[in-house]
């Protein structure tokens, strides 16, 4: 059976507003995506690492209850699981402090061989770590050779990597592996001083990927492929927290790829109608998350999704 493999760091997120505790839950970019997908019933496995401690036990238990496989989560003995403190500003945007306790030798384990119908989504802090470059490259090489669809989200965290120059080559290499890059305007400004969707697409093309989904904070979404140049409006909403919004947008993209049987298709072979559905679903997932304190779509929202697939004629 085909599967979604979500590769990124794991944190236990603790959220504050005006110096007051709001909530705490397992987090990390692709963990958030994986939980949203697990709630929709999509088969999903998290590929990551954390400590073999009580907090790690809590995280694994949570993931298993959310239908996310932890078979490929490596747990280090005598190490503490990572923590992220998220401080919300007046616009409910988060600023982070991160705390980790990893050994020098680190490992990623993706398990079985990939197939063309699998989807690999990766990004954020783990994907720009020099300590895991060889491990990640080994997995991406296997997925690429199998023809699996690969989605990359740079998700740059300046609090974690203030010197962008130190990771630029890693980010560019990740872009080269991707079939789809989903990047925010802040990501692309940090990575390549790109100030709009067209400049961002030029950067992504030069790095080796032909498809960019460029998101802006409440100002719409831009799609660029060899065949399409589209803009999608986003709804005006009252946010509670933006933590996990981009991650859930990614989950919406992957949900549509999986449900519509589009995994393994080249971006230029996907119809404009299918892209409309994909981006619209991403916007819907992100909007849902922005209106809650959770990092993932609610179970109620997941149940409301159309179970029936729609067929599209490829261009």
What integer pLDDT is reported at residue 163 of this predicted model? Answer: 79
Q: How many helices (H) and strands (E) does the chain have?
A: 10, 14
**CB 89, CB 95: distance < 8 Å:** yes
The confidence score (pLDDT) of residue 314 equals: 39
Alpha helices by DSSP H, listed for 119-196, are: 124-127, 133-146, 168-177, 185-192
| pLDDT attached to residue 4 | 98
Q: Are residues 206 and 219 in contact, defined by beta-carbon separation less than 8 angstroms? A: no
Q: Going from the first residue of the chain to its last (315 residues), give the mean pLDDT of each consecutive group of 10, the final group possibly shorter.
A: 94 91 93 98 97 97 97 95 91 86 91 91 93 95 96 82 83 97 94 96 97 93 96 92 91 97 90 97 96 92 71 41
How far is 261 from 63, CA to CA, in rounded Å? 25
**Residue 224 Cα distances to 76, 141, 229, 248, 306, angstroms:** 41, 25, 5, 20, 27
pTM, two decimal places:
0.93
* Cα-based distances in Å from 106 to 63, 223, 238, 285: 22, 36, 41, 33
């Amino acid at each position: 059976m085909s599967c979604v493999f979500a590769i990124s760091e794991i944190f236990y997120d603790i959220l504050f507003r005006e110096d007051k505790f709001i909530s705490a839950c397992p987090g990390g970019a692709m963990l958030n995506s994986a939980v949203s997908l697990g709630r929709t019933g999509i088969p999903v496995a998290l590929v990551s690492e954390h400590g073999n401690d009580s907090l790690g036990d809590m995280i694994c238990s949570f993931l298993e209850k959310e239908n996310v496989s932890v078979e490929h989560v490596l747990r280090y003995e005598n190490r503490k699981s990572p923590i992220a403190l998220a401080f919300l500003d007046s616009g409910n945007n988060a600023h982070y402090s991160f705390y980790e306790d990893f050994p020098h030798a680190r490992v990623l384990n993706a398990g079985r061989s990939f197939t063309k119908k699998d989807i690999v989504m990766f990004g954020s802090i783990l994907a720009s770590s020099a300590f895991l470059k060889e491990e990640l490259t080994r997995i991406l090489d296997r997925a690429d050779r199998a023809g699996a669809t690969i989605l990359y989200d740079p998700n740059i965290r300046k609090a974690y990597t203030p010197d962008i120059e130190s990771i630029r080559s890693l980010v560019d290499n990740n872009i080269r592996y991707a079939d789809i890059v989903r990047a925010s305007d802040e990501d692309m400004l940090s990575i390549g001083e790109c100030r709009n969707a067209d400049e961002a697409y030029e950067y992504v093309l030069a790095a080796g990927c032909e498809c960019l989904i460029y998101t802006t904070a409440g100002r719409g979404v831009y799609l660029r492929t060899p065949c399409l140049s589209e803009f999608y409006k986003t709804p005006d909403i009252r946010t509670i927290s933006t933590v996990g919004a981009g991650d859930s947008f990614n989950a919406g993209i992957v949900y549509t790829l999986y449900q519509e049987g589009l995994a393994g298709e080249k971006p230029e072979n996907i119809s404009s109608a299918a892209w409309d559905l994909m981006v619209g679903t991403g916007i819907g997932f992100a909007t849902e998350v922005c209106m809650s304190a959770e990092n993932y779509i609610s179970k109620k929202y997941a149940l409301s999704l159309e179970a029936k697939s729609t067929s599209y004629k490829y261009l």
